[in-house]
């Protein structure tokens, strides 16, 4: 190899090493999620278990809430990024009718996830309802 070839090769090797160092994946973005405890959190648990979130650079820290007041006040104050909650909680706080008035971020509903696992149950003698 002549002097120019060696310098070019050395430069290419240095560039390759530098690009490998730069190609390290970014640390996952941690999303703070507050939820009511229960089976309706299965999609999150499964996504965590299967690594679906991690594959997309997301880490979810799941926090169970003790009440809707705790959930919504801490969400509005910015201690959590997302809350999985019933729509009536969001509406109450958006309309200024939450149990604890809190100034802070506006809340936005993104989607409905389930029916809350609510079912109508009656005694055997009731055959219909209106």
pLDDT of residue 117: 65
Class for the domain spanning 28-130: alpha beta
3-class secondary-structure state, position 113: coil
Q: What is the pLDDT of residues 28-76, one digit of tens each?
A: 889 999 999 988 888 899 999 999 999 989 999 999 999 999 999 999 9
pLDDT of residue 121: 84
Interatomic CA distance for residues 62 and 83, integer angstroms: 10
Q: Using an 8 Å Cβ cutoff, are 69 and 98 in contact? A: yes
Interatomic CA distance for residues 79 and 74, integer angstroms: 5
Q: Provide the whole-model pTM.
A: 0.66
Q: Which among 96, 126, 116 is positioned nearest to 35, based on CA atoms? A: 116
Q: What is the pLDDT of residues 91-125, one digit of tens each?
A: 888 888 877 777 777 788 887 766 666 678 889 99
């Amino acid at each position: 190899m002549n002097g120019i070839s060696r310098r070019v090769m050395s430069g290419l090797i240095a560039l390759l090493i530098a690009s490998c160092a730069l190609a390290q994946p970014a640390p996952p973005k941690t999303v703070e999620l507050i939820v009511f405890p229960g089976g309706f959190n299965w999609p999150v648990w499964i996504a965590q278990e299967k690594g679906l979130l991690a594959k997309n650079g997301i880490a979810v820290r799941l926090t169970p809430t003790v009440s809707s007041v705790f959930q919504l006040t801490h969400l509005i104050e910015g201690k959590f990024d997302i809350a999985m909650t019933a729509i009536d909680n969001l509406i109450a706080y958006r309309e200024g009718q939450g149990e604890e008035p809190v100034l802070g971020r506006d809340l936005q509903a993104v989607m409905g996830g389930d029916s809350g696992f609510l079912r109508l149950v009656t005694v055997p003698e009731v055959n219909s309802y209106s």
